Amino acid sequence: MTRPQQTLAQKIEQKMQRAAQSGLLRRRQQLEQSPDCVNRLVHQGSIKHNFASNDYLGLSQSGELIEALAEGAKCYGVGSGASPLVTGYSEAHAKLEQALCDATGHEAALLFSSGFSANSALMKTLLDKESVVVADKLIHASLIDGLRESGALLKRFVHNDIAGAKRLTEKHQPQAIVTESIFSMDGDLAPIDELYGVAKDNGAWLVVDDAHGFGVLPLGGHKRVDASCCDIQIVTFGKALGCQGAAILGSRACIDFLVAHARDYIYSTALSPASAYVALKAVNLVTRDGQRRDKLAQVILAFQQAAKARGIELLGSQTPIQPLVVGDIDKLAKIDLALKAAGFWVGAIRPPTVPQGSARLRITLNVHHTQADIDALAEQLQRVLQG
């Protein structure tokens, strides 16, 4: 038998070296929540202002969800114990699914432990090598991975280009058009209504990854995503809802099909009922009270004004995701180090997460950012960008 040219150890070493040399090596950073402020992180004993979290409504540290987690654990225990098709589907899961349907108008829902799992499972279960899909160029990696595994023919249109989406759809007659609501790296919104019209005119389903939109929208004149403007909606709980898990929402027929065929769902231990109980509390909070969204809108406006006053050019996003494109990877690394040294933790996003030449700071805002926090970040950004 011929031995492979490389051992696994050699392959790992070479790939890690290449990533390090290109400035693209990913590493974990151990961070702790500061006990005295929800927007402060502790890193190696140093306090950092947190402008990198997706906890847009500040719910992850809220007393309501902390109490709900304790209540859920007391009522249901801390684990589900099995796959949903064995003994892992409980009253807590069913109530959460119903609340999500009530909030969006969809007929049925299916819970997963993460948004990545939900997106990937949906694509590779619903579609196959006989399928054609038209998708926005910037859809999430989880959707792309699922599509690749499905074997479907993928045709991608230029980001948010309705004319391009229409042209590809009319030419290829896909089973589905796929987009996000709020795009995670640009912070802009998809033209959902227009895409839904294109889908309906051509007998396709519109699938919307609403990970960064649910709980945030409506915002700035943009309406929320629901059953009136898409066929399938993916909601994740780790952003505006401040907890853990995800759900696929759609027709009863679609969800029943996924229950029977989605291997990620069938062969995974179910989301813990305590987590479902917390997510239910979060859904009720964000759907019945718009005060947090109003506060978030105020924070976004305050940051935009602070940046403009200091000559800082943003991408123009009206959402809590405020990208600042730097371009060069090495320049981004220097800016990132300078910000951390000054006490600011901001997402530094590099290819392949974003296109080559568009490395950026991904500044994310939440309801707990004060005017003082915003001004301090804007002043530091001005310094490091000029330096």
* Domains, the chain, with CATH or none: 29-56+290-386 (3.90.1150.10), 61-288 (3.40.640.10)
> Is the Cβ–Cβ distance between 127 and 258 less than 8 Å?
no
Q: Tell me which residue has tokens 């859809």.
A: 139
Helices 63-76 and 273-288: angle between axes, nearest 10 degrees: 140
Among 164, 42, 118, smallest CA distance to 271 is for 118
Q: What pLDDT shows up at residue 280?
A: 98
Confidence of residue 264 (pLDDT cuts 50, 70, 90): very high
Instruction: Say yes or no to pLDDT of 4 above 80.
Output: no
Instruction: Say yes or no to pLDDT of 101 above 90.
Output: yes
Confidence of residue 5 (pLDDT cuts 50, 70, 90): confident
The residues annotated with a catalytic role in the active site are 54, 140, 180, 184, 209, 212, 239
Tell me the per-residue pLDDT of 322-365, one tens digit each, with 9 for 90 and over: 999 999 999 999 999 999 999 999 999 999 889 999 999 999 99
Residue 178 CA to its chain's centroid (Å):
15
Burial class (CB in 10 A: 0-12, 13-18, 19+), 359: buried
Tell me the per-residue pLDDT of 181-236, one tens digit each, with 9 for 90 and over: 999 999 999 999 999 999 999 999 999 999 999 999 998 778 999 999 999 999 99
- Find out whether the peptide bond into 323 is cis, omega within 30 degrees of 0: no
Instruction: Say yes or no to pLDDT of 1 above 70.
Output: no
